[in-house]
Amino acid sequence: MTIIKKMIEYIWNKKKINKNVRLCGMIFLIKNTWKIIKINFEELIVFLLCYHAASILIVYNFYSSSIDFALKKAGYSYITAENVMSFIKNPISILLITANMLIMIVLVGFEIICLLENYRASNYNVQLKAYKIFLVGIFKVGKIIKDGNILKVIPGLMIVPFISIHFIIQEVSSIKILNYLAQSIYESFHYKDMIYLLIFVILVVSLLSAFIFPFVTLGEKNAIDAFLVSFRVIGGKAKKSFRYLIEWNIMLSIFILLINALAIVISALIISLLYSSDVALANLLIVYDWIKLLSGFFSNMVGIAGNIAFIFSIYSLYRFNTLEEYKDELNIYTALTNKTFKAATFMISLLIVVIEFVYSYKMIEKSTQIAQEILVTTQVTAHRGGASYAPENTMIALKAAVEVKADYAEIDVQETRDGVVVLLHDSSLKRTTGYNKYIWEVNYDEVARLDAGSKFGSKFAGEKIPTLDEVIEYCKGKLNLNIEIKNNRHNENIAQRVLEVIEENDAQDFCVITSMDYALLGDVKEINPDIRTGYILKMAYGNFENNVNADFLSIKHTYATKKVITAAHSCGKEVHVWTVNSRSDIERMKLLDVDNIITDRPVTVREVLASEQSGAGFIELLKIITR
C-alpha cells in the first residue's frame, strides 16, 4: 500500500518538478554548476587529489594482494586471456573480486557524500577547507549510521555506473584483467545484442537513480521517496533533465579527451628537447602508456565531481532551503573551527600525509612493475642487457636499456671461482675480454681488472664485467631484470647464490630467474617458492601444465605458434619469445599475443607495438613531434 500511495503522490506532484525543470536551460545549469564549484574550487581540487590518491593506494594494494592470493589458490602464475574466465569462476576469486568492488563502491559513496556537503556549503557561500570537506563527510556518515539510515543510502549507490562511465571505459581498455574479462565475456556470449541491452538498462537505472543520494542525504527522504522524486526529475514530462545529463557527460568526455591530448603534446615537446629522435620516441611511447593509465585517475575525478555538481545544481532548483533552515548544518562547519577539532584534524591530516608519502614512495619505486601488472601491453626486453647499444652484459648496456625504456633487461650470470656472481654469457672470458680462461678458473679480483668493452668499440674501453649485486642496485626502480642462470656444471650452488643476492637487495619484485636447466629452476623454487621463474626452450612441445617449476615460458620465436601460445596461456603461463629483431617477426609476435619480446632492438619493437595499438598515423605524428 505504501508503494501505491507513493506512486499516486508521484502523479500529483510531477507538475511541480516539471515547472522547475522547464524554468531552466542547459546554459543556466552550466553557469549554476560552475558557480557552485568555484566557491571552494581550490580546496575542492586539493580534496579530490588527496582523496583519489589515497583511494588508489588502498584499492591497488588490496587488488594486488588479493589477485596474487587468488592466483596461488587457482594454481596459476599469471592471468591471461585464455584462463581469465576459469580464474574468475573460482570461489575465492569471486569472493575477493566482490570485496574489491565493495571497497570501491564504498569509497565512491563516501566521496559523493563529501561532494554533496561541499556543494551545499558552496550554495550558501560557505567556504570549506579541504580537510573540512573530508570531516563533514565523516560527520554526515556518522549521522546516517546513528539515525539508522544506512539502508536508505544504499540504493543511492546505483548512480555509480553512470557517474563513473568515463573511468570504466578508460580502465576496461587499459587494465589487463578487466580487458581480458570483457573480451572473454563478449566472445563467449552468443547473443551479443543482449550485452548491449544489459549495459543500456544498467545505465538507464543508474541515471534514474541520480537524485536518490541528494534527496536522502540532504533532503532527509527515505529511499522509496527519493527514487520516486528522482524518477520525476528525470522521467515523466521532464525529459530535459535526462537530456541535460547526457549532454553534460558528452561535454565532460570532450574535456577529458582535450586534457589527455594536451598532456601528450606537452610531453612530446619536452621529451623532444631532452632526447635524440629515436630515443625520444621510445620515451614518449612509455609516457603515452602512463598518460592512458593516469587519465583513468583524472577521468574518475572529473566524472564523479562534475556529475555530482551538475546533479546538485538541478537538485537545488527543487529543494528551496532557506539559510534559516540550513542553520543546524552550518553549526557543524562552525564547530570545525574549534581548537580541539583543529588539533585533531592536524594530527589526522599529518597521519594521512605520512601514510600516503610512504605508499607513494613505494609505488614510485615499483612504478615499472606496477605499470606492467596493470596495463594491457606486450613487454619489451633488451637482450643481454642492451647488446646492440653497448658491450653485452655491462653496466653501460643496462644504462642504454633504461634510456630506451625497455621493460626488462635479459642478463646472463655465472659465478667466479671464489663464488661471486657476475654477468657473463659464455663460459670462457675470451670472446668479450680476450682473456683465455673459463670463469670458474678465476677469482673475482682478476675478473674485475678485465676490459669487457674494447672488443665492442674503442669508446667503451675499460668497461668492466659487473657483479649481479651492482646491477640490481643500479636497476632498482629503473628496470626489471630477467636473470638467466647459466649452468656450466662448475657452479652447483649458483641458484642459492643468485637468490641470496636478490633477497639481500630486496629485489624479488623486479627480478625473474630463467634457465634452460629445468632442474635448476626446481632448486630455485625449493629455496624461494615466490620468486618468478621462466623455462627457456629452443622448441616448444608437450604438456605445459607439467612445468610446475616455471611461471612462464621463454621460447625461440621461430617455434612460437598460436597453438603453443594458447596452450601456455590456458595454463596461466606467460610466453616470452627470443630473439626477435626484424619488423615482420615483431608484427607476427604481436598478432600471436605473446607477453614479452626479447630483442636487440627495443625501440623498433616499441614502435611496431605502438603502431598496432594506436594506429600508424598516430605514431608518425609522434615521430614528427619528436624530431
Number of other residues whose CB lies within 10 A of the CB of residue 508: 14
Counting DSSP H helices and E strands in the chain, the numbers are 28, 9
The answer to whether 30 touches 245, Cβ cutoff 8 Å, is no
Residue linked to cell 616470452: 576
Nearest one of 175, 209, 236 to 12, comparing CA atoms: 236
The tally of CA atoms less than 13 A away on the side-chain side of residue 611 is 16
DSSP tag of 215: I
* Residue listed under C-alpha cell 574479462: 181
Got the DSSP string for 118-184? HHHHHHTT----HHHHHHHHHHHHHHHHHTT-HHHHGGGGGGHHHHTHHHHHHHHHHBHHHHHHHHH
Q: Which residues contact 532 (CB under 8 A, 6 or more apart)?
A: 77, 512, 513, 551, 552
What is the greatest pairwise CA distance in the chain? 98
Angle at 56 between CA 529 and CA 288, to 5 degrees: 90
How many whole angstroms separate alpha carbon 414 and alpha carbon 421?
6
Q: What is the C-alpha separation between 623 and 627, in angstroms, rounded?
A: 6
Q: What is the residue whose three cell numbers read 630506451? A: 404
**Which whole-number Å values give the CA distances from 278 to 20, 401, 439, in the listed order?**
60, 13, 36
Catalytic residue among 383, 557, 569, 576: 383
166 is catalytic: no
* 383 tagged catalytic: yes
Mention every residue, 6+ apart, whose C-beta is less than 8 A from residue 526: none
Q: How far apart are CA 413 and CA 256, in angstroms?
A: 47
CA atoms within 13 A on the CB side of 476: 16
Identify whether the C-beta of residue 486 lies closer than 8 Å to the C-beta of residue 414: yes
Cα 2 to chain centroid distance, Å, stands at 46
Q: Which of 52, 166, 190, 425 is catalytic?
A: 425
Residues 6+ apart with CB under 8 A from 318: 17, 20, 229, 233
DSSP per residue over 529-565, as a string?
Answer: TTSEEEEEESS--S-GGG-TT-SEEEEEGGG--HHHH
Active site members: 383, 425
